[in-house]
Amino acid sequence: MMNFELTREYIDSLRELIEAKNETAISEILEGLHPADIAEVYEELSIDEAKYLYFLMDDDTAADVITELEEDDRKRFLESLPSEVIAKRFIDKMDSDDAADVLGELDDERQLEVLSHIEDVSTAGDIADLLNYDEDTAGGLMAKELIKVKETWGIPTCLRSMRRQAEEIDEIYYVYVVDNDGILKGTLSLKRMLLSPVDVLVKDIYNSDVISVRVDVDAEDVSNIMDKYDLVALPVVDSLGRLVGRITIDDVVDVMREEAEKDYQLASGITEDVEASDSVWQHTRARIPWLLIGMFGGILGSRVVSGFIDVLDEHPQLAFFMGLIAAMGGNVGIQSSAIVVQSLASGSTSLDSTWKKLMKELGISLLNATLLTILIFTYNRVVGADLALTMTVSAAMFSVVVFANLFGTFVPLLLNRLKIDPAVATGPFVTTLNDIIGMFLYLTIGTLFFSMIG
- Please spell the DSSP secondary structure of 295-359, one letter per residue: HHHHHHHHHHHHTTHHHHHH-GGGGGGHHHHHHHHHHHHHHHHHHHHHHHHTT------HHHHHH
SS3 213: strand
How far apart are the C-alpha atoms of 216 and 256, rounded to whole Å?
A: 18
Min separation Cβ 115 and a copy of itself, Å: 25
CA-based torsion, 283, 289, 294, 295: positive or negative: positive
Query: What is d(CA 393, CA 388) in angstroms, rounded to the nearest whole number?
Result: 9
Interface with a copy of itself, residue 80, by CB under 8 A: no
Quick check: 423 and 361 in contact, CB under 8 A? no
In the complex with a copy of itself, the residue whose CB is nearer, 115 or 344, is: 344
Window 131-160: residues binding a copy of itself (CB under 8 A): 159
Q: If DSSP codes are grouped into helix, strand and coil, which group holds residue 195? A: helix
Computed from CA positions of residues 4, 5, 9, 15, in that sequence, does the dihedral angle turn out positive or negative? Answer: positive
Please tell me the count of residues contacting a copy of itself according to CB under 8 A. Answer: 127
Stretch that binds a copy of itself, among 74-82, 100-108, 117-125, 360-368 (CB under 8 A): 360-368
Comparison of 86 and 217: residue with beta carbon closer to a copy of itself: 217
Closer Cβ to a copy of itself, 116 or 302, answer by number = 302
Beta bridge partner(s), residue 234 = 247
> Nearer to a copy of itself by C-beta: 83 or 212?
212
* Interaction mask 261-300, a copy of itself, x per CB under 8 A: x-xxx-xxxx---xxxx--xx-xx--xx-xxx-xx-xxx-
- Residue 83 CA to residue 341 CA, distance in Å, equals 44
Compute the least distance from the CB of residue 152 to a copy of itself, in Å.
Answer: 21
Binding of a copy of itself at residue 410 (CB under 8 A)? Answer: no
Restricted to residues 305-324, the positions that interact with a copy of itself (CB under 8 A) are: 305-306, 309, 312-313, 316-324
Q: Between residues 128 and 249, which has the closer beta carbon with respect to a copy of itself?
A: 249
Residue 435 binds a copy of itself, judged by CB under 8 A = yes
Q: Which of residues 155-214 bind a copy of itself (CB under 8 A)?
A: 159, 162-163, 166-167, 169-173, 189-191, 194-195, 209-213
Q: How far is the CB of 370 from a copy of itself (least distance, A)?
A: 10
